[in-house]
Amino acid sequence: MSQTARVVQPQLSAVTKFLSRANDGCCAGDSQVSSNRDERPDQSAAGHANVGQRDSGGPDAPGQADGSQEQLAEKDVAIGTVYLVGAGPGSPDLLTLAGLRALQRADVVLYDGLIDPRLLHQAPQAAHVCVGKHGKTPIWTQEDINRRLIEEAQSGRTVVRLKGGDPAVFGRTAEELEALVSAGIPFRVVPGVTAGLAAASYCGIPITHRDHASAVALVTGHQSDSNARDNPLDWHALARFPGTLVVYMGVTTAGEWSKHLIAAGKPATTPVAIVRRCTWPDQKTIRCTLGQVGEVLAPHRRFRPPAVIIVGEVAGEDQR
């Protein structure tokens, strides 16, 4: 064994053992949630768990809105911190260690209905508040969520806003950050594994390829009315894009965006991979072409979200 190997191998072993312990802790427990509460958006912040330990600064200290220190001095109130945490695409294994630590210090967790409920077992000390799941519980408005984040933090609680995937990718994080900054609430954004990249990896698709894709574009299949009016997608630019398109929230609008791409010059024979519930045990993948997407995802097919759709030559690859 070389001198380098003798030095590096023990260090790698220690790191491997640490990550293994963290991973085992993340996946502990069954899939049933022992949620502290199931609340509606109009309930007040009063009566929640006592304030847990706050951050003590340093490299992991949360972001601070301008002027919030002065506001704290004026109000003489211990403002809590809000963590916007990416839960990853599904599997609890893909939660980051930073995300795990945030959950362990939380007093309140406001979570999306699509996250794996086993993640909530990492915050048994916290109140668990679901902000809605399609077809099962009422969906909170973004204004309701923003208001609740601010109320909890102003009451001195550490709040985790647990989002599927990565908070910065089609997660409406910008709106939450604007609200927190306006209210002078300290915050930190914890990145997560975004579904588009995880779906490619779990399907054996190389999202980039030296021969087929030198770039990747993350595209929404569902623009807001105002954004579609003021900043419509440039379908001709996307059709000419020299790489892979990954379409989020594109199941119900598949017939529309696929026709736009074809009309703009994207070949109808372009390979497509549709991945539903990526990284979950019931992950499902359908391979087709761009010209077939509208029919494959037509309403009568009952192919339900969540799903991401990979469009490009790499979708014809399978390197598993």
| Residues taking part in catalysis | 112, 133
Residue count (the chain): 320
CA distances from 187 to 64, 141, 244, 284, 312 (A): 6, 21, 33, 36, 38
Using a 10 angstrom Cβ sphere, with 0-12 exposed, 13-18 middle and 19 or more buried, the burial of residue 33 is middle
Q: Which of 189, 25, 29, 193 is nearest to 117 (CA)?
A: 29
Helices (H), strands (E): how many in the chain?
Answer: 10, 10
What does the alpha-carbon distance between residue 318 and residue 314 come to, in Å, rounded to a whole number? 8
Give the 3-state secondary structure of residue 84.
strand
Check: CB of residue 138 under 8 Å from CB of residue 40.
Answer: yes
Report, in this order, helix, strand and coil percent for the chain, each rounded to 5: 35, 20, 45
What does DSSP assign to residue 115? S
Cα-only R_g, the chain: 22
- In the beta sheet, which residues pair with residue 105? none
* Dihedral angle, C-alpha 291, 296, 297, 300, nearest 10 °: 130
- Residue 80's contacts (CB-CB under 8 Å, 6 or more residues apart) are 51, 54, 107, 152, 153, 154, 155, 156, 157, 158, 159, 185, 186
